[in-house]
Amino acid sequence: MSLFDFGKKKEEIIVVFDIGSASVGGMIIKTKPESDPEIIASARNPVNFLFDVNFPAFWRSARNAVKKTADRLCKLSPVKPDKVLCVFSSPWFISQTRIISVRKGEPFEISGDFFNKLLDDEIKELKKKRRFRPPAPASGRPGEASASDSDFELMESERMKTCLNGYPSENPFGKKAKTFKAYVHMSFGSGEVIREMEKIISEKLGESRVFFRTLPFVTFGVLEKIIKPEAGYLFADIGGEVSDVSLVRKGAIEEVVSFPLGRNAVVREVASRFKTTIKEADSLIERFRSRRAGASDSKEVSLIAERFAGKWREFLRKALVEISSDAPLPRDFFIVGNGIDGLGFIESVKDPSFSVFTVLGKPFNVRRILPEGLKHYFRFERSFEKDKDGLLMLESLFAAEIL
């Protein structure tokens, strides 16, 4: 048995969609009692992003990629799933960790109804204060109005940690306490996007239970199961339009900071410099990363990557200043994202100057979340080589164990 206790799971077919800003992936898994989950098939299609980005046009491109991915999965394994998990990366959501606290003079009972009432009040308060206006990429138009602005819908509200009378309690319900504190991670997205995803799933895969989650929470859920560093950790998703940096301490996501720069910015600049299409630019970058590009092209791409890595490093510095204001940061720093090796992002996190932010005053201990590291949690119907998609494997672990 692996670190995940899959023995408690019944047999199910689960489809996982990874909805990012650079691509949309899909994976079919089968869970069985007393066995690791089996990956049946996977597929991934690029989001045909544009030079000029606005939210409605960007979603149309992503929606087309979702449909293509669903069609491919149906051809590979035309079986109706029991569940469907849709995991969104930025810029498809906004999120926040809320601390819900109650203190009384006399002990009071913590019931499900009591907690749900507190949670409903928090959600209503957040929806009054904010509308859905996701972070725009550097090449887009931040704050541009869209049909999504007035259509603000809850995607997830997850209780990560609860304390009674100052002590952690995994199962607080039915107990009494004078103080109650719950750390809840909430994410909101466009109602239009959520409804369209449900429609596509119904049309392509049939009626199934559909769950919506975000990559920061899914990553947190899996890392808490398999690693859980005592001092806490940071993790970043940098594979698309927007980068997210999350801080985890004492079993809860404390902060999620987003900034408008990711791998796609490099692709756009390469396309502009070489006067070619986004697709051809992406292909050139892949040849550069695998050292198959010509000397002249490699030099040009290297200069572009270096310049954007410098910009990204400054965004990261500002994010670290923001999230380290209360206390020094843990050293462990996990990175997720497809196609980012060799572009300077990972090297930026290792910058010695960031030592000023860490607990021990040393550089971050950077750790990649890669398919090879997740391989032993799965069985493969086809082969590891055909289905080694790190993000989808991470999300499939969440679906199999936690969903």
Chain segment 41-84, per-residue pLDDT in tens? 999 998 876 655 577 888 899 999 999 999 999 999 988 999 99
CB 163 within 8 Å of CB 169: yes
Q: What is the mean pLDDT of residues 291-313?
A: 95
Residue 201 has pLDDT above 50, yes or no: yes
Cβ atoms of 289 and 253 closer than 8 Å: no
Please state, as a whole number, how many other Cβ atoms lie within 10 Å of the Cβ of residue 325: 8
User: Is residue 1 one of the residues assigned to a domain?
Assistant: no
160: nearest Cα among 106, 67, 223, 207: 223
pLDDT of residue 70: 97
pTM: 0.90
Question: Which pLDDT belongs to residue 148?
Answer: 43
- Average pLDDT of 263-290? 91
Residue-level pLDDT at 279: 84
Average pLDDT of the residues in 147-154: 64
- Mean pLDDT for the stretch of residues 377-395: 96
Task: Name beta bridge partners: 400.
Answer: none
User: If you search the block for the tokens 């606290």, which residue do you land on?
Assistant: 101
For residue 159, is it within any domain?
yes
Residue range 310-332, pLDDT digits in tens: 999 999 999 999 999 889 999 99
Residue 153 in domain: yes
Instruction: Say what percent of the chain tops pLDDT 70.
Output: 91
pLDDT given at position 162: 95
Task: Please report the pLDDT score of residue 51 as a whole number.
Answer: 56
Q: Which of 262, 234, 250, 252 is nearest to 357 (CA)?
A: 234
pLDDT of residue 371: 94
379 pLDDT exceeds 90? yes
The tens digit of pLDDT for each residue in 11-41 reads 999 999 999 988 999 999 999 888 899 999 9
The pLDDT value recorded for residue 364 is: 97
* pLDDT at residue 156 tops 50: yes
- Domain membership flag for residue 324: yes
Residue 286: per-residue pLDDT? 92
Residue 143 has pLDDT above 70, yes or no: no
pLDDT at 289 over 70: yes
The pLDDT of residue 131: 54
What's the average model confidence in pLDDT over 194-210? Answer: 95
For residue 237, what are its two tokens?
A: 């998703």
Query: Domain limits at 169?
Result: 6-401
Q: Mean pLDDT, to the nearest integer, of 245-257? A: 93
Query: Given this model, what pLDDT does residue 232 score?
Result: 93
Kindly state whether residue 19 falls inside one of the protein's structural domains: yes
CATH number at residue 229: 3.30.420.40
Of 336 and 16, the structure prediction assigns the larger pLDDT to 16
pLDDT digits (tens, 9 = 90+) for 109-125: 999 999 999 999 988 88
Measuring CA to CA, how many Å separate 204 from each of 38, 85, 100, 139, 155?
22, 14, 40, 33, 22
Would 374 be classed as within a structural domain? yes
For the chain, the average pLDDT equals 89
In a domain, 173, yes or no: yes
Burial 146-170 (b: 16+ CB within 10 A, else e): bebeebbbbbbbbebbbbbeeeebe
Find which of 146-155, 209-218, 331-340 is predicted with most confidence, using mean pLDDT.
209-218
Domain count, the chain: 1
In a domain, 353, yes or no: yes
